[in-house]
Amino acid sequence: MTTPFTLTQGRIPLLVSFPHVGTDLLPGLAQRLTPAAKDLPDTDWLLPDLYDFLTDLGASTLVAHYSRYVVDLNRPATDESLYPGQTTTGLFPAKTFTGEPVWQTPLTQGERDQHRDTVWAPYHTQLSAELERLKARHGYALLWDAHSIAPELPRLFEGRLPDLNLGSNGGQSCPPAVAQAVLQAAEAFPAFTRVLDGRFKGGHITRHYGRPDQRVFALQLELSQATHLADGLPAALDPARCATLRPCLRAMVHAFTTESARFLEPA
């Protein structure tokens, strides 16, 4: 099987996680996808390419290889809902974001256990280990969980999603002042609408690893794909849109690192 992830270690206290960019499938699964799911429409397409400035910044990156249809890395292993009372997707998605079946024949319990053990668990073991490495080296660690989604999905949310959707789990995964500083950085770019802790407050990764009392801050950014993807398929980055968005992303990441340092680094 394919290695579940690629880790690139950086020199600053920041780890950027990309849990939904993978397109690999375990053997035998491709032919079981429905026509609606065969092109993996719910992938966070090309986000590592969009965030191409992270290497220059010296950030660590953790890039998933497997599709979220194999197992969703941003859901808890116990599969409880992150948004009780709202339509969402689980650890083993049975429907696409538009509500169509993913599988012609559902995953068996044995397959689910295998996917959890061989894909989900190694990713989280590595994520935890890298945060510990950064914390040991710098005295604290920062986690930015990078996502994207179609701007309109009536099954999941009403209306059109803002361009930039920051999640801090209601201020529990990082200090509210830090999240506000990142939001203010985005406000300097009026081309983009933005919100903090709106429809997307942060998934399992943000909620589980963001522990301010343990000197680990976490934020999730859910980007509308209208900010960076070209129209139509196959998915491709739109150079003009990316040229407008990247300075905003850099400013937001910079605000996250600098404002966090004010809280965490010794005077």
Count of structural domains within the chain: 1
What average pLDDT does range 154-167 have in this prediction? 93
Angle at which helix 239-264 crosses helix 176-187, to 10 degrees, equals 150
Residue 63 amino acid letter? V
Parallel/antiparallel/unpaired status of strands 5-8 and 14-18: unpaired
Has residue 264 got a pLDDT over 90? no
Q: Which two tokens stand for residue 30?
A: 């491709």
Has residue 131 got a pLDDT over 90? yes
8 vs 146: CA distance, rounded Å: 15
b vs e for 81-99, b when ≥16 Cβ sit within 10 Å of the residue's Cβ?
ebeeeeeebebbbebbbee
Q: What pTM value is reported for the model?
A: 0.96
Range with lowest mean pLDDT among 57-66, 187-196, 256-265: 256-265
pLDDT bucket at 263, cuts 50 / 70 / 90: confident
Has residue 267 got a pLDDT over 60? no
148 vs 142: CA distance, rounded Å: 20
Beta strands in 132-215 (DSSP E): 141-149, 164-167, 194-196
Q: Which residues pair with 151 in a beta bridge?
A: none
What average pLDDT does range 181-207 have in this prediction? 97
Has residue 62 got a pLDDT over 60? yes
Longest dimension (CA), the chain: 59
- SS3 string, 148-210, reads EECCCCCCCCCCCCCCEEEECCCCCCCCHHHHHHHHHHHHCCCCCCEEECCCCCCCHHHHHHC
Residue 179 domain boundaries: 5-264
What average pLDDT does range 192-211 have in this prediction? 96
Nearest in space to 219 (alpha carbons), one of 32, 9, 10, 15: 15
Nearest in space to 141 (alpha carbons), one of 260, 17, 221: 260
Higher pLDDT, residue 88 or 153: 153
Rounded percentage of the chain residues whose pLDDT exceeds 90: 90
DSSP 8-state class, residue 11: S
Has residue 78 got a pLDDT over 80? yes
Q: Which two tokens stand for residue 7?
A: 């880790």
**Residue 2 has what pLDDT?**
77
Higher pLDDT, residue 158 or 66: 66
Has residue 146 got a pLDDT over 60? yes
DSSP 8-state class, residue 212: G
**Residue 87 has what pLDDT?**
65
**Residue 83 has what pLDDT?**
72
Q: What CATH code is carried by the domain that includes residue 75?
A: 3.40.630.40
Prior bond of 234 cis (ω within 30°): yes
**Residue 85 has what pLDDT?**
67
What average pLDDT does range 103-130 have in this prediction? 97
Has residue 253 got a pLDDT over 60? yes
179 vs 196: CA distance, rounded Å: 8
